[in-house]
Amino acid sequence: MSAPRPTRKKNPALAAAGVSQADQPDSLVVRFGMDQPLVLDSGATIAPLQMAYQSYGKLNARKSNAVLVCHALTGDQHVASINPVTGKTGWWETLIGPGKIIDTNQYFVICSNVVGGCLGSTGPASTNPATGKPYALDLPVVTIRDMVRAQAMLMDRLGIESLFAVVGGSMGGMQVLEWASTYKDRVFAAMPIATAPKHSAQNIAFHEVGRQAVMADPAWSGGRYREKGVLPEKGLGVARMAAHITYLSEPALQRKFGRKLQDRDAPTFSFDADFQVESYLRYQGSSFVERFDANSYLYLTRAMDYFDLAADHGGILAKAFEGSKTRFCIVSFTSDWLFPTADSRAVVHALNAAGALVSFVEIDSDKGHDAFLLEEPEFFATLSGFVSAAAKARGLKMTISDPHLSSGPGARVDLLIIADMVERGSRVLDVGCGDGALLKLLADRKDVDARGIELSRDGVANCVTHGLAVIQGDADTDLINYPDDSFDYVILSQTIQATRNPRRVLEQMLRVGRRAIISFPNFGHWRVRYDLLIGGRMPVTENLPDAWYETPNIHFCTIRDFDDLVRDIGAETERALALNASGKPLRLTAPWWFWNVFGEQAVFLLKRRPD
């Protein structure tokens, strides 16, 4: 199938609709008078101020079910309804609507056009009451924080003191982070998606190319093009083409277009759009000009460039979230090179340092930055589980427990023993938490504040899907991001042998937690010795189920080896158990050699020795 051909003739009805929407949008509007100015980061003010928004669903009696959706750079308030300019469906209808993940039968959803936008909120295309002409560049430059301040004013006008959730991707995710930092007490749950705590130099560079393309168009006229009845179509079209490339990934472009020609069998040896990808980009640029204001593009890209959350807090990102009680779910995508996973991890590390409740998953997708707007089942499942768990905590609705997260008698023996060691109501971090079985067990039986770290993407997605606060991370590298004494217990079950540096991991566990609980397979068990001695082969047992060439185990230790390590790092064994092949504890008074020979696995409860 050929890519869409570029529009060669503009649609005057669309262009006219775009102009009219700036002042009189086809959506709900709130107006603030001269006595309620929006005070900007620059020190300037905007007054009067207009905020255009759409809402879906109903606000409950307690006003506790409000969800604010923040749109991306070229988005608008029509998140789940027909756009009056383009006639297209809402840009996030896959996620928002009756019976969907953000269920408008359950939640009151609000999405506002940002300040600086062009679909009804005060922006450069809006009429300046002082002149009767469009603001153009007379509008003060706005920042992400300015956008959020205006949204907070809108929430105040709607009588919503506390938002159940704030969600958004890309520039919308920046707004979510700003909300969670500036208005900590007003946000119960935050979902920043495919975003960053600051704009990178590369992204600023791409934006500058786009802005220069707009301003180099003679029709731009110093920003006064609307007064002259013209539009900088070529410049804005080129800016959109360049930006659109950054939203996609190379695999996505290759899969969709490759080097296929557009409606021809051979090259024309000209500068026409020979390739489908060229035609596609020209179409994107042409259609964008019809629905978006060029000056708004300048303002919003500049707002993103200025965003640097850590810089507003002495250069320390964790300070932006100090004291936060907000629940976070952070999502990135493997092929997103505009806002790569490293940006999301920076936020996760800051939240961990601040002691915030955070889940994080990197979704495997080859669709690039735009993946958050597309059909991604794993992404949807993750958000669905997080929203359901947050709603339950908020007292909005119940979730259904998952049968795969067993907390009953069928749970692993070592997990039951670990759960017995943990005091009720404790703060627990499970490192290498797998599918979350232990976290679920502890939450159900001991009412703990349970959090986890898991390296497997599938494991993290499964945990978050079922409402568990788990981040995608590595025991060897991520424990260092937690402050001292963040938890009562740090747990590592059947994983220490798979870490790269067991000593460092154990030391970090005892720094982060008051106590550490470790279970591990005993490589000195008689069955292991027998297989090596008689069979001459590496053993395969219930606790060591993998063949030597595919085992995750890096380090092999016996119970005695582990006890020596505990003493070597200056820790104290508070309790230890060796379990036989049937999962029964061996005699506590048995000598070490007996535990070493007949214990198939061990569980140690450790604490730091007093200084």
What is the predicted pLDDT for the residue at 593? 86
Instruction: Please report, for residues 91, 97, 576, 587, 595, the alpha-carbon distance to residue 599 in angstroms, rounded to integers and kept in the order given.
Output: 58, 55, 12, 10, 5
User: Given a cut of 60, is residue 7 above it in pLDDT?
Assistant: no
Q: 283-292, 483-492, 526-535, 564-573: which range is least confident on average?
A: 526-535
Instruction: For 116-151, write each residue's pLDDT tens digit.
Output: 999 999 999 999 999 999 999 999 999 999 999 999
Q: Which residues have C-beta within 8 Å of that of residue 375, sequence separation ≥ 6?
A: 94
Taking residues 330-355, report their average pLDDT: 96
- Check whether 400 has a pLDDT greater than 50: no
Known catalytic residue at 313: no
> Can you tell me the distance from the alpha carbon of 525 to that of 581, in angstroms, rounded to the nearest whole number?
9
537: confidence class by pLDDT, cuts 50, 70, 90? confident
Tokens at 13, concatenated: 């009805």
Whether the CB-CB separation of 97 and 56 falls below 8 Å is answered with yes
- Pairwise CA distance, residues 234 & 460, whole Å: 45
pLDDT (tens digit, 9 = 90+) per residue, 208-252? 999 999 999 999 999 999 999 999 999 999 999 999 999 988 888
Q: What is the pLDDT of residue 198?
A: 97
d(CA 543, CA 44): 66
For residue 6, name the pLDDT band (cuts at 50, 70, 90): very low
Q: Which residues pair with 471 in a beta bridge?
A: 360, 453
| 319 pLDDT above the threshold of 70 | yes
The pLDDT > 90 percentage for the chain reads 75
pLDDT in tens, 268-281: 888 888 788 888 88
Q: What is the per-residue pLDDT for 17?
A: 45
pTM (2 d.p.): 0.89
Mean pLDDT, range 573-581, rounded to an integer? 92
For residue 546, pLDDT over 90 is answered with no
On the question of pLDDT at 19 being above 70, the answer is no
How confident is the model at residue 80, as a pLDDT? Answer: 97
- Is 207 a catalytic site residue? no
Show the CA angle centred on residue 353, arms to residues 349 and 355, nearest 5°: 115
Catalytic residue of the set 336, 343, 370, 414: 336
pLDDT(403) > 70: no
Structure tokens at 546: 């993998």
Residue 557 vs residue 530, higher pLDDT: 557
Report the percentage of the chain scoring pLDDT > 70.
Answer: 94
Per-residue pLDDT band for 159 (boundaries 50, 70, 90) equals: very high
Query: For residue 37, what pLDDT band results from cuts at 50, 70 and 90?
Result: very high
Q: Per this entry, what is the length of the chain?
A: 611
The full DSSP string for 380-410 is HHHHHHHHHHHHHHHTS---PPPTTS--STT
Mean pLDDT confidence for 281-303: 92
Of 71, 207, 369, 466, the active-site residue reads 369
Q: Tell me: the pLDDT tens digits for 99-124?
A: 999 999 999 999 999 999 999 999 99
Query: pLDDT category, 327, cuts 50, 70, 90?
Result: very high
Judged against a pLDDT cut of 60, whether residue 2 lies above it is answered with: no
Region 177-181: mean pLDDT is: 98
Task: Identify whether the C-beta of residue 143 lies closer than 8 Å to the C-beta of residue 307.
Answer: yes
pLDDT band at 410 (very low <50, low <70, confident <90, very high): low
Phi, psi of 18, deg, nearest 5: -60, -40
Q: What is the pLDDT of residue 90?
A: 95
Measure the CA–CA gap between 500 and 197, rounded to whole angstroms. Answer: 30
What is residue 397's predicted lDDT score, i.e. its pLDDT?
A: 63
HEC states along 227-257? CCCCCCHHHHHHHHHHHHHHHCCHHHHHHHC
In angstroms, the CA 317 to CA 357 distance is: 16
Range scoring the smallest mean pLDDT among 402-416, 484-498, 583-597: 402-416
Answer yes or no: 493 catalytic.
no
pLDDT above 50 (res 15): no
Burial class for 569, CB neighbours closer than 10 Å (0-12, 13-18, 19+) = middle
Q: Is residue 180 a contact partner of residue 324, using CB atoms and an 8 Å limit?
A: yes
Per-residue pLDDT, 453: 96
Kind of pairing between the strands at 108-112 and 49-56: antiparallel
Tell me, what amino acid is at 359?
A: S
Residues 260, 216 contacting (CB under 8 angstroms): no
Residue (of 537, 532, 520) closest to 603 by Cα position: 520
Both tokens of 414, joined, read: 């070592």
Q: Average model confidence (pLDDT) for the chain?
A: 91
127, 133 contact by CB (below 8 A): yes
* Residue tagged active-site, from 170, 286, 324, 359: 170
Please enumerate in sequence order all residues whose Cβ is within 8 A of that of 334, keeping only pairs 6 or more positions apart, or say none. 341, 362, 363, 364, 365, 366
Q: Is the pLDDT of residue 49 over 50?
A: yes
Question: Does the N-terminal peptide bond of residue 140 adopt cis geometry, omega within 30 degrees of 0?
Answer: no
With contact defined as beta carbons under 8 Å apart, do 120 and 17 qualify?
A: no
* Of 262-276, 300-314, 341-355, 496-510, minimum mean pLDDT range: 262-276
Q: Average pLDDT, stretch 508-530?
A: 92
Mean pLDDT value of segment 560-586: 93
Dihedral angle of Cα 267, 270, 271, 276, to the nearest 10 degrees: -10
